[in-house]
């Protein structure tokens, strides 16, 4: 049976997911695309469009923003429709995480997004002492209008001859205030570990970086695990890794019943 899905967000990830899902029409049908930028020119707002669209869908694929997860996530889950989330930073809020992950009746799935290894972290969660994440990105991929002026000027002015610079070190909760669109990986690690406080985050702006690198070290009483993930940025949005859309498509196909299923 073909699974009907709604895409919430039609930017770099949403468009790439849409293109890939078109090759899997025997498993998945995109019933509707809801994006506020697309709808603004029309008569309908995103909330109305989404509530109409989810009536016939089994899954909403969120690739919009943490704000979209906050605004629409509880309604989607409450309607009994399932939700696949890319903007994991939204779930750093424990009350929203509770509503989405535990209240039902719809199910909330978390995309593995720009990394891997979350199955191992989840399996060892009870034994985790600390997870460290060192994210290295090109300065322009870290720039956003909400940054304090001094940090914005530093990132905007970095040249290859300056070398890399640490721009953040601290908790997931603090990282999300400074770099809200760059914290999905840290949030994913905290969610898999069942405790955001176990994750320490370091962010390095590297003007020579051609890819985004996540160095992940997991210290547990059952072993020590290291991952290094080096992602090519999505050409449509340098803050996003091209892997994320592929992970979303892989997740959608898995929910549509396509194996192999590693669990």
Ligand X SMILES: NC(=O)c1ccc[n+]([C@@H]2O[C@H](COP(=O)([O-])OP(=O)(O)OC[C@H]3O[C@@H](n4cnc5c(N)ncnc54)[C@H](O)[C@@H]3O)[C@@H](O)[C@H]2O)c1
For ligand X, the binding residue among 7, 137, 244, 249 (CB under 6 A) is: 244
Residue 133 or 155: the one with the smaller Cβ distance to ligand X is 133
Q: How many alpha carbons fall within 13 Å on the CB side of residue 59?
A: 24
Please give the Cα distance from 115 to 227 (Å, whole number): 9
In 55-138, alpha helices (H)? 66-78, 94-102, 118-123
Q: Total number of residues binding ligand X (CB under 6 A)?
A: 30
For ligand X, the binding residue among 6, 28, 53, 113 (CB under 6 A) is: 113
Span 48-77, contacts to ligand X by CB under 6 A: 63-68, 71
Tell me: does residue 35 bind ligand X (CB under 6 A).
yes
* Dihedral angle sign, alpha carbons of residues 172, 75, 33, 4: positive
Query: Hey, which bits of 17-97 come out as E strands?
Result: 28-34, 59-62, 82-85
Using only C-alpha atoms, what is the Rg of the chain? 18
Site string for ligand X, 76-105 (x = CB under 6 A): ----------xxx-----------------
Please give the Cα distance from 91 to 108 (Å, whole number): 11
Q: What are residue 236's DSSP bridge partners?
A: none
Decide: helix, strand or coil at residue 78.
Answer: helix
- Whether the CB-CB separation of 28 and 5 falls below 8 Å is answered with yes
For ligand X, the binding residue among 5, 83, 84, 114 (CB under 6 A) is: 114
Residue 131 or 185: the one with the smaller Cβ distance to ligand X is 185
Please give the Cα distance from 36 to 79 (Å, whole number): 21
Residue 134 or 162: the one with the smaller Cβ distance to ligand X is 134
- Whether the CB-CB separation of 79 and 54 falls below 8 Å is answered with yes
Residue 65 or 220: the one with the smaller Cβ distance to ligand X is 65
To the nearest whole angstrom, how small is the minimum distance from the Cβ of residue 82 to ligand X? 17
- Which part of the chain contacts ligand X (CB under 6 A), choosing from 8-16, 51-59, 100-108, 220-228? 8-16
Tell me: does residue 212 bind ligand X (CB under 6 A).
no
User: Which residues are known to be catalytic?
Assistant: 214
For ligand X, the binding residue among 124, 132, 171, 181 (CB under 6 A) is: 181
Tell me: does residue 220 bind ligand X (CB under 6 A).
no
For ligand X, the binding residue among 36, 58, 99, 198 (CB under 6 A) is: 36
């Amino acid at each position: 049976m073909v699974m009907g899905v709604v895409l919430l967000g039609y930017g770099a990830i949403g468009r790439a997911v849409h293109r890939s899902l078109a090759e899997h029409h025997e498993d998945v049908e995109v019933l509707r695309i809801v994006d506020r930028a697309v709808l603004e020119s029309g008569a309908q707002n995103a909330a109305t469009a989404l509530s109409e669209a989810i009536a016939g869908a089994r899954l909403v694929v969120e690739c919009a923003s943490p704000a979209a997860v906050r605004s629409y996530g509880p309604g989607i889950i409450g309607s009994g429709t399932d939700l696949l989330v890319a903007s994991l930073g939204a779930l750093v809020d424990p009350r929203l995480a509770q509503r989405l992950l535990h209240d039902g009746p719809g199910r909330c799935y978390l995309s593995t997004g720009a990394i891997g290894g979350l199955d191992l972290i989840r399996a060892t969660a009870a034994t985790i002492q600390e997870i460290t994440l060192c994210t290295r990105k090109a300065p322009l991929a870290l720039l956003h209008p909400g940054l304090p002026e001094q940090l914005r000027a530093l990132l905007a002015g970095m040249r290859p001859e300056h070398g890399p610079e640490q721009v953040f070190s601290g908790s997931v909760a603090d990282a999300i205030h400074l770099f809200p669109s760059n914290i999905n990986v840290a949030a994913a690690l905290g969610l898999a570990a069942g405790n955001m406080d176990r994750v320490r985050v370091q962010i390095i702006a590297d003007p020579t970086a051609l890819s985004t690198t996540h160095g992940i070290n997991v210290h547990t009483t059952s072993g020590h695990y290291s991952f290094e993930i080096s992602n090519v940025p999505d050409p449509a949005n340098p803050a996003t890794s091209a892997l994320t859309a592929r992970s979303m498509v892989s997740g959608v196909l898995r929910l549509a019943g396509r194996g192999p299923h590693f669990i």
